[in-house]
Chains A and B, each alone.
Chain A
Amino acid sequence: MLDRDEDILKAAEDWQKAGRGVALATVVETWGSAPRPAGSSLVINDEGTFLGSVSGGCVEGAVVTEAMDVIQSGKPRMLEFGVADETAWNVGLSCGGTIRVFVEKVG
């Protein structure tokens, strides 16, 4: 979709320049009724502050935890999240899909 994530990448740059450890998490693939499309991103700093969204709230907590490791190690990683429950899927719950999220360190 048209870019509405103005402040996320700006925050990533500002935080990094201010000396914080920063990671960027980006949805790279979705299946089923994933709530946020590929390209959606979440920026996280080493204080645990984050901005943006990769799932509308379902998996952000887990992504933030993984991002802390990525900030430490500097190595990117791919995360996969899904809700296997067919019932959840069928009733159209927003998290009834699967997403792959690429997490990388900034800087």
Chain B
Amino acid sequence: MKLAILHELNAERAARRPAILVTDTESGEQRLVKAKDFAKDPLGAELEKQLRMGKSGNVEAGGKKLFLNVYAPTAKLVIIGAVHISQALAPLARSLGYDVTVIDPRTAFASPERFPDIPLVAEWPDTALPPLNVDAYTAFVAVTHDPKIDDPALLHAFERNCFYIGALGSRKTHAKRGDRLRAQGAKDSDVARIRAPIGLAIGAVSPSEIAVSIMAEITAVLRLPPKEKEEAA
């Protein structure tokens, strides 16, 4: 691998931007394709698919055997609310490979006893969120039921274009939330991005089951192609 390519690849990885290294495994020739350039690449469709699956693999193109090595950032999960559901959600998400952070300004909730080994920030979202570098490889879940905590957090998630944004609450609660967020400057398209009621409809009852339904929904959004994604919703 040429040092220039390696250097560029490391820079993309440090910035949490996905890229795929294309290697002709016979000649050793290589090129790096950044995710923003997939659309104009001759291998665009294959690159999109491999990245969505987060999986490296081989393709044949123009009589050449090419290895596509996928470099995707580690997905993050930000949970607003150190509540009962979060106690089940945080370890489940971690077992699925997410870097998890739980935020709740209420210190009685955000206690290490309740969340052993999980990074906890006992601050208001306005203070807690900026240092976390929430980005497009972040799933964002708001489950406090308290608008004072959830609303500013959701506004931050819109701004950072999180790939998944979910919030706890019935349809009625969610309609009120939409009104509040719009009053604070959120666009209709932002509000429409919130998955609420949160999680896939699997009849979840207990906090652990709700955690499963949330992670199932996040997985679907991460992995399914756009059309199937709508069908699963």
Q: Specify whether A and B are partners.
A: yes
- Kindly state whether residue A39 has any CB partner on chain B within 8 Å: yes
- Kindly state whether residue B152 has any CB partner on chain A within 8 Å: no
Does A3 contact B57, Cβ atoms closer than 8 Å?
no
Cα-based distance from A51 to B57 in the complex (angstroms) = 22
Cβ of A105: which chain B residues have Cβ within 8 Å of it?
1
Cα-based distance from A12 to B23 in the complex (angstroms) = 17
Q: Tell me how many residues of B have a C-beta within 8 Å of chain A.
A: 25
- Kindly state whether residue A69 has any CB partner on chain B within 8 Å: no
Cβ of B69: which chain A residues have Cβ within 8 Å of it?
26, 38-39
Given contacts A4-B74, A104-B28, contact A28 B6 (CB under 8 A): no
Which of B23, B25, B54 has most A Cβ within 10 Å? B25
CB-defined interface of B48-70 with A at 8 Å, one 1/0 digit per residue?
A: 00000011111000000001011
Given contacts A3-B73, A39-B69, A39-B70, contact A28 B3 (CB under 8 A): no
- Kindly state whether residue B34 has any CB partner on chain A within 8 Å: no
Does A106 contact B1, Cβ atoms closer than 8 Å?
yes
Cα-based distance from A4 to B99 in the complex (angstroms) = 11
Given contacts A2-B75, A39-B56, contact A28 B25 (CB under 8 A): yes
Least Cβ distance of B200 to chain A in Å?
A: 21
Least Cβ distance of A45 to chain B in Å?
A: 14
Chain B, Cβ-Cβ closest to A74: B28
Cα-based distance from A9 to B5 in the complex (angstroms) = 11
Cα-based distance from A59 to B2 in the complex (angstroms) = 25
For chain B, residues 195 to 231, give those with C-beta under 8 angstroms from any C-beta of chain A.
Answer: none
Chain A, Cβ-Cβ closest to B18: A3
- Kindly state whether residue A18 has any CB partner on chain B within 8 Å: no
Cα-based distance from A16 to B3 in the complex (angstroms) = 8
Cβ of A12: which chain B residues have Cβ within 8 Å of it?
1, 6
Does A38 contact B3, Cβ atoms closer than 8 Å?
no
Q: A28 touches which one: B28, B58, B71 (CB < 8 A)?
A: B58
Least Cβ distance of A28 to chain B in Å?
A: 4
Of the candidate stretches B7-15, B101-109, B118-126, B143-151, the one touching chain A is: B7-15
Does A1 contact B6, Cβ atoms closer than 8 Å?
no
Does A1 contact B97, Cβ atoms closer than 8 Å?
yes
- Kindly state whether residue B72 has any CB partner on chain A within 8 Å: yes
Cα-based distance from A16 to B73 in the complex (angstroms) = 24
Does B3 contact A1, Cβ atoms closer than 8 Å?
no
Does A3 contact B72, Cβ atoms closer than 8 Å?
yes
Does A2 contact B56, Cβ atoms closer than 8 Å?
no
Cβ of B28: which chain A residues have Cβ within 8 Å of it?
75-76, 104
Cα-based distance from A76 to B23 in the complex (angstroms) = 11
Cβ of B57: which chain A residues have Cβ within 8 Å of it?
38
Q: Report, nearest first, the 3 A-B pairs whose CB atoms are least far apart.
A: A39-B56, A76-B28, A38-B56
Instruction: Mark B residues whose CB is within 8 Å of A.
Output: 1-3, 6-7, 9-10, 13, 23, 25, 28, 54-58, 67, 69-75, 97
Further 7 A-B residue pairs, CB within 8 A, beyond A9-B6, A106-B6? A2-B75, A3-B72, A9-B13, A17-B3, A24-B1, A39-B70, A107-B3
11 residue pairs from A and B, CB less than 8 Å apart: A1-B54, A3-B71, A9-B9, A13-B6, A28-B56, A29-B67, A38-B55, A105-B1, A106-B1, A106-B3, A107-B1
